[in-house]
Structure 1
Amino acid sequence: MHFFISVVLLVAVLPTMSYAEEKIKHVKTENISEIKALPDDLRNLLSQEMQALQSGMMSIIPAYISGNWGEIETTAEKMKSSYILKQSLTKSQVKELHSALPHEFFEKDQRFHYLAGMLEHAAKNRKSELINFYFSEMNESCVSCHMVFATHKFPALMPKTRSKHVH
C-alpha cells in the first residue's frame, strides 16, 4: 500500500517538477540575456569588477592560513566598498545599470558586499572561525549569483537537466 501511494504521489508531482524546471530555465535565460545586453562599457566594468573580486577572494586564502588578519581586513574592506564599479560609474551609467539588470542581481550584490563587511569586522577582531565562516558565505554568494546570471561564462554551474529514466 505504501508503495502504491508513493507511485501515485510521484505521478502527480512529476508534471509540476518539469514545469518548475522549464520556468527556472526561462528565468535564467532572461537573466543571462540581460547581462549580455548591457552596453560594452558597462559589461567591461562589470567584468573588471568580477575579476578584482576573484583576485581578492584568492588573496584571502594564503592570508588566512598564515594569520595575516590585516591583509584580510584590507582586502575585505575593498570588496565591501567595491573595487571598480562605485569608483568608475557615471550617474547615467548607474541609472542604465539599474534599469538594465533585474532587482535580484542587486540583492545578490548587496549580500556579497554585506558579507565582505562582516569578513572585514571578523578580521579586525582576529576571529579566525568567523573569518572562515564569512569567507565561505562569500564563496557561496559568488556561486549562487553565477548560477543565475553567468552560466554563459560558467556552464558547469548550469543546473543538471533530469534525464528521462524509464523502467
Structure 2
Amino acid sequence: MKNIICISLLAVLLPGLSYADDQHKHQEPVKTQAASAGVQALSADLRSLLSQEMQAIQYGMMSIIPAYASGNWSEIETTAGKIKSSYILMQHLSKAQVEELHSLLPAEFIEKDENFHYLAGMLEHAAKHKKPELVNFYFSEMNRSCVSCHSAFATHKFPALSVKPKNEHAH
C-alpha cells in the first residue's frame, strides 16, 4: 500500500515535471533540479502511466467541488477513495516499475506523496460520515499539499509558485 501511495502523488506532479523548460532550470533550487532529473530518468511507459494518473487525480479533485456544494457525500467518498488508492497505477505498475520510482525520487517527494494520500483517505472518511466541515478541511489540505509539492518540485512548470529571494532592502 505504501508503494502505491508514493506513486500516486508522483502521478499528480508528473505533467509539471515531464517537460521542463530549460530557461527556468538555472532558477530552480537544487532539490527541484534533482527531482526533475529523477522523473525525467523514468522509463517512457512509467511516465505515461503517471501522466494518466495525474490527469485522473486532477479530474477527481475538480469533481469534488460541485459534489460538495450539493452535499453529494457518496460521490466525494468514492472520488477520495480512488485518489487515496490511485486510479491507474495500482492496476498497472510492475514490481520493477515500483523499484524504479523508489530509486529515482528523493525522500521528500515520497513523504509529500504519502501525506497527500493520507489526506485523501481522511477526506473519504469525512464524506462517509457526512461531515461537511471536515470534507472542506481535508479538501483544502489536499490542495495545500499539491501547492507545497509543486513549489518544491515543479517550479519550472508552475513558476508563480517558486520562492523568490527576499530583497533585504525592500520597504
Given the two structures, how large is their TM-score scaled by the length of structure 1? 0.80
> How far does residue 129 in structure 1 lie from its aligned partner after superposition?
0.2
The answer to which of 157-166 and 100-109 deviates more is: 157-166
| Identity, % of aligned positions | 68
Q: Gaps spanning 5+ residues in structure 2: where?
A: 1-27
Which of 120, 135, 140 is residue 139 of structure 2 equivalent to? Answer: 135
**Separation in 1, partners of 2:155, 2:44:** 19
Figure out how many residues of one structure are paired with residues of the other and give that number.
145
Tell me whether 1:78 sits opposite 2:82 in the alignment.
Answer: yes
**Separation in 2, partners of 1:153, 1:45:** 19
Q: Provide the alpha-carbon RMSD of the alignment.
A: 2.0
**Separation in 1, partners of 2:170, 2:158:** 31
> How far does residue 128 in structure 1 lie from its aligned partner after superposition?
0.2
Given the two structures, how large is their TM-score scaled by the length of structure 2? 0.78
Higher relative contact order (CA 8 A, sep 6+): 2
**Separation in 2, partners of 1:143, 1:28:** 14
Moved over 3 A (4+): 161-167
**Separation in 2, partners of 1:34, 1:159:** 21
**Separation in 2, partners of 1:147, 1:166:** 23
Which of 110, 123, 140 is residue 114 of structure 2 equivalent to? Answer: 110
Work out whether residues 31 and 153 of structure 2, in 8 Å CA contact, stay in contact via their aligned partners in 1: no
